């Protein structure tokens, strides 16, 4: 097996043996169970006239609540990716664990790519698995299925991968705690930058709107989150948002359009840049 895949396998094995995967599975099942119970309640709740809600209203409320629940999932994924990626290389340099591995015929680029790949697989599996379970639970509880479930998984997974890539880059030079904290702060700043951009859109102020654009260029997690939101919005809700004009766009939990294609192309370039930077940073580090 090539060294890259050996390192990737080792990374998956480590998270598995350290019971991180088990903890995430249990937590996810608990959340899915609770949310299924909660979503089920929407179909039985009554309005002021004492009657249950019509199906279109159930779908609307469910879609909005699902966005909030997914925000929590994307947060868990982003936090986990940042916290796990932060010490991925630095802790092994500090402990000396990498010394004996790097004395083997293993390139440092193979270590970086292997670790990214191993954790990336876990991020992808978690994003797909948790989305499948949650969507299945919501479908069972309310009969509502978001319009673009595949895109939803792709966007949420890519958000986790973005945080993983940032955490890994920081991990090549900074201690695990420092790198993890910086990645988390960057994620939150990125989200806030997106909100500021929304405010700019609402006010039709180009300068303020550009804050969002630049923050999406530097760290595209918020942009990807908007893509996930778009994938969950039913057509009727989208029509309402569009009818509201610029005001409809000024909402961090709503997206009128999917992320533009040039931006998605930039995200692919961004991933490549982060990996290239990580490899360069680790290759030039003396350990």
Tokens of 268: 């692919």
Residues 84-123, interacting with other proteins (CB under 8 A): 95-97, 99-108
Closest distance of CB 178 from other proteins, Å: 21
Helices (H), the chain: 3-17, 20-44, 55-85, 90-95, 97-102, 108-142, 149-171, 176-203, 206-218, 221-232, 235-243, 246-249, 261-283
Tokens of 31: 């959340």
Is residue 50 a contact point for other proteins (CB under 8 A)? no
Residues 13, 47, 57, 205: which binds other proteins (CB under 8 A)?
13
Closest distance of CB 142 from other proteins, Å: 42
Is residue 44 a contact point for other proteins (CB under 8 A)? no
112-141 residues labelled b (16+ CB within 10 A) or e (exposed) = bbbbbbbbbebbbebbeebbebbbebbbeb
Is residue 14 a contact point for other proteins (CB under 8 A)? yes
Q: Which is nearer to other proteins, 18 or 242 (CB)?
A: 18
Closest distance of CB 132 from other proteins, Å: 28
Q: Which is nearer to other proteins, 50 or 105 (CB)?
A: 105
Closest distance of CB 266 from other proteins, Å: 28
Closest distance of CB 85 from other proteins, Å: 18
Tokens of 81: 């990716």
Closest distance of CB 279 from other proteins, Å: 10
**Region from 6-14, 25-33, 168-176, 215-223 binding other proteins, contact rule CB under 8 A:** 6-14
Tell me phi and psi for residue 52, to 5 degrees.
-70, 160
> What is the radius of gyration, based on Cα positions, of the chain?
21
Q: Which is nearer to other proteins, 119 or 211 (CB)?
A: 119
Which residues are CB-contacts of 215 (< 8 A; sequence separation ≥ 6)? Answer: 189, 190, 192, 193, 194, 196, 197, 222
Is residue 3 a contact point for other proteins (CB under 8 A)? yes
CB 135 within 8 A of CB 141: no
Tell me phi and psi for residue 46, to 5 degrees.
-110, 155
Number of residues that bind other proteins (CB under 8 A): 26
Q: What is residue 257's three-state secondary structure?
A: coil
Is residue 6 a contact point for other proteins (CB under 8 A)? yes
Closest distance of CB 277 from other proteins, Å: 13
Site string for other proteins, 58-77 (x = CB under 8 A): --------------------
Q: Which is nearer to other proteins, 107 or 148 (CB)?
A: 107
- The Cα–Cα gap between 206 and 256 comes to 18
Q: Which residues pair with 46 in a beta bridge?
A: 52
- List residues near other proteins by CB under 8 A: 1, 3, 6, 10, 13-14, 17-18, 95-97, 99-108, 283-287
């Amino acid at each position: 097996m090539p060294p890259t895949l050996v390192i990737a396998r080792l990374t998956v094995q480590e998270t598995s043996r350290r019971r991180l995967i088990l903890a995430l599975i249990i937590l996810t099942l608990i959340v899915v169970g609770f949310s299924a119970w909660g979503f089920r309640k929407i179909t039985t709740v009554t309005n002021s006239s004492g009657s249950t809600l019509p199906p279109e209203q159930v779908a609307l409320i469910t879609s909005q609540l699902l966005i909030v629940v997914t925000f929590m999932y994307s947060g868990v994924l982003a936090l986990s990716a940042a916290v796990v990626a932060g010490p991925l290389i630095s802790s092994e340099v500090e402990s000396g664990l990498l010394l004996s591995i790097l004395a083997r015929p293993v390139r440092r680029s193979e270590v970086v790519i292997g670790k990214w790949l191993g954790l990336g697989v876990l991020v992808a599996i978690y994003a797909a698995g948790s989305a499948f379970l949650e969507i299945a639970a919501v479908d069972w509880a309310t009969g509502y299925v978001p319009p673009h479930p595949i895109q939803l998984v792709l966007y949420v997974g890519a958000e986790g991968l973005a945080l993983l890539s940032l955490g890994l880059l920081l991990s090549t030079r900074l201690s695990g705690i420092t790198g993890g904290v910086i990645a988390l702060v960057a994620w939150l700043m990125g989200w806030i930058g997106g909100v500021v951009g929304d405010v700019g859109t609402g006010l039709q102020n180009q300068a303020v709107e550009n804050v969002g654009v630049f923050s999406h260029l530097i760290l595209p997690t918020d942009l990807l989150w908007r893509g996930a939101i778009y994938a969950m919005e039913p057509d009727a809700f989208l029509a309402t948002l569009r009818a509201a004009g610029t005001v409809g766009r000024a909402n961090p939990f709503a997206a009128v359009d999917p992320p533009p294609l040039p931006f998605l192309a930039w995200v692919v370039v961004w991933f490549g840049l982060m990996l290239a930077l990580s490899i360069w940073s680790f290759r030039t580090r003396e350990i």
